[in-house]
Structure 1
Amino acid sequence: MLSRNKRRRMTIRGLLSLIVVFVAARAFLRGNYEHLFVCVLTLALFTVPIFVDRKLGIDLPPALETIIYCFIFAAEIMGEINSYYTKIPYWDTMLHTINGFLMAAIGFALVDIFNRSERFSVKLSPLFLAIVAFCFSMTVGVLWEFFEFAADTYLHMDMQKDWIVHEINSVMFNPDGLNIVEHVKIDSLIVNGEDWIAKYGGYIDIGLIDTMKDLIVNFIGAVVFSIIGFFYVKSRGQGKFASAFIPRVRRTLGLKEKK
């Protein structure tokens, strides 16, 4: 018999899946196959927690699994299809911060699972576990930025969103060719006969500011959970907040915990 938490997670996944199916059907009828692909990808991502639970024997806490479903839905359906990335300020920032937090939790769990197993004789300190969790989260964040850059470069997308800049600081404008920064304020700008200052208020930075902003908020999320995870291990699992985000391996895999 399913537990209350299990039924609640299945209900949330089912409701979100129904919405995605509806959006997919609408995209198909309108001939928008790009949105249809996003919906299919979303449904595929919804199966990842199920695969992790059933095939890998890793028990995802209810809070973590629920947030994963909501995160996927918010990123793909609300962000990509409903254009929340451009319509709602800081939507992308919020998701990258949550991603940094979640990836640190997953990275922390991956190492802590082996750290508590009787199969391994090495005992890792709480500080080392926190550092590994932080590094894992930042690595995932960097790899995602690589993916965005590749998509923008080769598929002509705009995943690394542009930002309006009002001045340029560069050594390229130094009249003597020296490595001294020249500060150039953009007061007028005509592109293809169009006045960009009047229309947009400045020039565009292609992706750099967005990338660095995403990595900075990923860093914040990773640091927050790494600190939480550190004290969680320090008290050996007494922290209720951290335990709500840290997956555990079921003992059926033979990974018994050290006493």
Structure 2
Amino acid sequence: MRSLRKFLYWLNIVGMIAYLIVCGYFQMTGKPLYPGQVGLMFQVASGLVLVSIPLIIEKWAHVALPDILVVLYELFILMAILLGTGMQAYSIPNWDKFEHLFSAGMLAGSGFMIYAARTPADKQDQIDPFLIALFGAAFGVLLGVCWEFYEFTGDSLFGMNMQRYMAAGKPLIGHPVLYDTMGDLLSDFIGSAGMSLYAFFKIRRDHSWLNTFKLHRIK
């Protein structure tokens, strides 16, 4: 898992730098590869910071983050920034739904991390694995709902279209208005439930597996 984490990190870093160099060259020659190229390059450049957040947290807080959560985070950034935004993969149908799967799994895992941090080690063996898994699933879905609140707020206040309530510049009418939001929530549910189901069987077999999600102090 540690090697996969490093691979994804450097894949993001090298890919983003290569994107900036190649697209910057074509932008300067007056032949941009993508519409709105300057804005896309700015977002990809910001991705260099976002992809490094786990390392920054570890250096600043002197803790080792769970590798499985960092792997899911790096995958999410790869899909959202370099591929989704930079290379316009959002034009692929349901691309954002696959992003929600990874992010929901990561958020459910974050719930396990919080549980492991707040529950004394001598008490963890006494808790039903089903309740632990249920907490992780509920936590992941809750944050997915909060994200939809954020999108709704952005659409309402700034005229954005994050919830895809408009098509070709015109507001949708009736049931189609719900398609994007409900699809996102369904992906959040599946991703959170998938991670929690996996955790349930692992914890039922060996409660110490929960330590996979523990923060470890770096001396």
Category of TM-score, reference length = shorter chain: 0.7 to 0.9
**1:12 matched to 2:11:** yes
Q: Distance in 2 between matches of 1:230 and 1:163?
A: 40
CA contact under 8 A between 2:64 and 2:215: conserved in structure 1? yes
Task: Summarize the alignment of residues 132-147 of structure 1 with structure 2, pairs less than 5 Å apart.
Answer: 132-147=135-150
Alignment partner, residue 58 of structure 1: 64
CA contact under 8 A between 1:160 and 1:211: conserved in structure 2? yes
Q: Distance in 2 between matches of 1:23 and 1:139?
A: 40
Cα RMSD (Å) of the superposition?
A: 3.6
Long gaps (5+) in structure 2: none
Structure 1 residues 97 and 211, CA, compared in 2 at 3 Å: closer, same or farther? same
Structure 2 residue identity aligned to 1:234: R
Q: Distance in 1 between matches of 2:82 and 2:128?
A: 40
CA contact under 8 A between 1:101 and 1:224: conserved in structure 2? yes
Q: Distance in 1 between matches of 2:156 and 2:25?
A: 29
Alignment partner, residue 93 of structure 2: 89
Which is richer in helix?
2
Structure 2 residue identity aligned to 1:140: L
Give the Å deviation of 1:6.
6.9
Give the Å deviation of 1:11.
3.1
Q: Distance in 2 between matches of 1:15 and 1:144?
A: 29
Largest Rg, 1 or 2 = 1
Q: Distance in 2 between matches of 1:157 and 1:28?
A: 26
Alignment partner, residue 76 of structure 1: 81
- Identity, in percent, stands at 23
Structure 1 residues 114 and 55, CA, compared in 2 at 3 Å: closer, same or farther? farther
Structure 1 residues 9 and 40, CA, compared in 2 at 3 Å: closer, same or farther? closer
Q: Distance in 2 between matches of 1:28 and 1:13?
A: 21
Task: Summarize the alignment of residues 1-259 of structure 1 with structure 2, pairs less than 5 Å apart.
Answer: 8=7, 10-19=9-18, 21-22=20-21, 25=24, 32-56=37-61, 57-61=63-67, 64-85=69-90, 87-117=91-121, 124-162=127-165, 207-236=177-206, 246-252=212-218
Q: Distance in 2 between matches of 1:7 and 1:32?
A: 29
CA contact under 8 A between 1:103 and 1:136: conserved in structure 2? yes
Give the Å deviation of 1:102.
1.8
Structure 1 residues 143 and 41, CA, compared in 2 at 3 Å: closer, same or farther? farther
Structure 1 residues 27 and 132, CA, compared in 2 at 3 Å: closer, same or farther? farther
Which is richer in strand?
1
Structure 1 residues 68 and 114, CA, compared in 2 at 3 Å: closer, same or farther? same
Aligned residues, how many? 208
Of 101-110 and 205-214, the range deviating more from structure 2:
205-214
TM value normalised by structure 1? 0.64
Long gaps (5+) in structure 1: 165-195, 197-201, 254-259
User: What SS does structure 2 have at the residue aligned with 1:89?
Assistant: coil
Q: Distance in 1 between matches of 2:192 and 2:124?
A: 28
Q: Distance in 1 between matches of 2:163 and 2:153?
A: 10
CA contact under 8 A between 1:39 and 1:77: conserved in structure 2? yes
Q: Distance in 2 between matches of 1:159 and 1:229?
A: 32
Of 136-145 and 76-85, the range deviating more from structure 2:
76-85
Q: Distance in 1 between matches of 2:19 and 2:111?
A: 29
TM value normalised by structure 2? 0.74
Give the Å deviation of 1:42.
1.7
Q: Distance in 2 between matches of 1:152 and 1:104?
A: 26
